[in-house]
Amino acid sequence: MIQTEPTPNPNSLKFLSDFTISEVGNKEFQKKEIKNLKNPFVIDLLNIEGVELILLSENFLTVKKEENIPWSSLKPTIISFLNDFRSKNKLPVLSIKDDLVKDEKSNDDEDEVVSKIKEVLNTKIRPAVARDGGDIKFKSFNNGRVTVELQGSCSGCPSSLMTLKQGVQNLLKHYVKEVNTVEAE
């Protein structure tokens, strides 16, 4: 059964699933990159008029829509896509067998500060951001400045800048003394 939850971003909606959607963690797909995609479900969903991006997670899908398209027209279509996929497939939309997720490179030489930053992001921040239908990815650390990428409902959300500065930045500064500021890419 598919249920929906609002997110802080009025143009994003979280679709909760009783089946696994992604076995490979969170992955965002944007309509502007559709030519490079191979997953038929993702392509079909992004081809729906008004859908800008989707974020696939273990047990939810976040859809960000164009502002002028009402949820009343999109919501039933998206639920139908999810239910149809579930009835025809045993594997998740993104399974471990897919080669789509190779952007999180493991770096054994990663320095201690970056490791601490990633640990705080993954254990303290990502779960909270996921509750709102979004994701946050570490991009870089340089001279006290952490750069992250906001995805899903967080992308373009009016409250994301405040969350970034008051929540993410304060937590990272508290746990990792080398952090001075946090900015979104």
Query: pLDDT digit string (tens) for 107-153?
Result: 545 699 999 999 999 888 888 888 888 888 899 999 999 999 888 88
Same domain, 67 and 120: no
Given this model, what pLDDT does residue 32 score?
92
Of 157, 144, 137, which is closest to residue 13 (Cα–Cα)? 157
Q: Judge whether 97 lies within some domain.
A: no
3-state secondary structure of 45: helix
Beta strands in the chain (DSSP E): 3-6, 12-16, 27-30, 51-56, 60-65, 134-142, 145-152, 181-184
pTM: 0.75
Given this model, what pLDDT does residue 184 score?
86
Given this model, what pLDDT does residue 108 score?
47
**181-184 and 145-152 strand pairing:** parallel
Q: Judge whether 105 lies within some domain.
A: no
Given a cut of 90, is residue 3 above it in pLDDT?
yes
Same domain, 78 and 151: no
134 is in which domain, residue-wise? 112-184
Q: Judge whether 94 lies within some domain.
A: no
Given a cut of 80, is residue 100 above it in pLDDT?
no
Given this model, what pLDDT does residue 1 score?
86
